[in-house]
Amino acid sequence: MLVSEKWVSLEEGLEFIQNDMGKSILEDHPGFLSDSELPFRPPKHYKNDIIIWEPADIHPGAKIGNDVVIGRYTNICGAISIGHHTRIQGFCFIPDAVEIGSYVFIGPNVVFTNKKYPKVRHNQMKERDGKTIIEDGVSIGAGAVICPGVRIGENTLIGAGAVVTKDIPADVVVIGTPANIINRSE
C-alpha cells in the first residue's frame, strides 16, 4: 500500500507521524527526523510489513520476506532472496546470485559483487562467480564489500569497511582488508 506520492515538508512530516501509520515508524526509528528544513519523502508501505524508502531500485523478481526495510538509493538488481525481519540501509548495491537470510542487518554503502574479474564484453556479462549466501542473524557494517561466491555464517559480525574475500564461519567478528577473524562469540 502506497503512503504518499509527493514530497512533504517538515511540518507535514510531523503531522504524518501523529497519525497511526506514522507512530509505528517513529517508534521503530526514533530520531529519524532532524531539525532540518529539507523536505523528506515518507516510505512506501507494502503488504507483509515491507517498507521501502524511495528512491530505491528493486528487481521485480526479488523475493522479499515479511517485515523487511530497504533504505534509500539501494539497488537490488537481481532476482535475489531476502529473509524475514531484515534491514538494508541506504546506498547499498546487491546484484543477482545473492541470498540473504532472516534477521540480517546490512549497513549503509555495503556493496556485494558477483564477478571477481568483470569484463565489459557482452558475452561475459551473464557469467557469475558463484552464489553469495548471508545466513541468519548476520550484521554487516557500513561500507563493507562482499566478494562473489562467499558464505557468511550465522550471527557473524562484519566490521565497517571490511572486504570479505572468502567464507566466514558462524559466530565470529571479522574486520579488515581482507577480512580476518578477531573474535569468536561462543
CATH code of the domain in which 92 resides: 2.160.10.10
Check whether residue 37 and residue 65 sit in a common domain: no
Note down the domain range covering 147.
46-184
Asked whether the beta carbons of 172 and 159 are under 8 A apart, the reply is no
Check whether residue 75 and residue 144 sit in a common domain: yes
Look at residue 4 in the predicted model and tell me its pLDDT: 45
Check whether residue 26 and residue 87 sit in a common domain: no
Check whether residue 69 and residue 138 sit in a common domain: yes
Residues of the chain scoring pLDDT < 50? 1-4, 35, 37-38
Check whether residue 26 and residue 61 sit in a common domain: no
Check whether residue 17 and residue 92 sit in a common domain: no
Check whether residue 115 and residue 96 sit in a common domain: yes
Check whether residue 155 and residue 87 sit in a common domain: yes
Look at residue 37 in the predicted model and tell me its pLDDT: 47
Check whether residue 11 and residue 54 sit in a common domain: no
Look at residue 47 in the predicted model and tell me its pLDDT: 87
Q: How many domains does the chain have?
A: 2
Q: Tens of pLDDT along 100-131?
A: 999 999 999 999 998 877 777 666 556 567 89
Residues 6+ apart with CB under 8 A from 162: 141, 144, 145, 174, 175, 176, 177, 179
pTM: 0.76
Check whether residue 66 and residue 79 sit in a common domain: yes
Check whether residue 138 and residue 116 sit in a common domain: yes
Question: Strand, coil or helix: what is 14?
Answer: helix
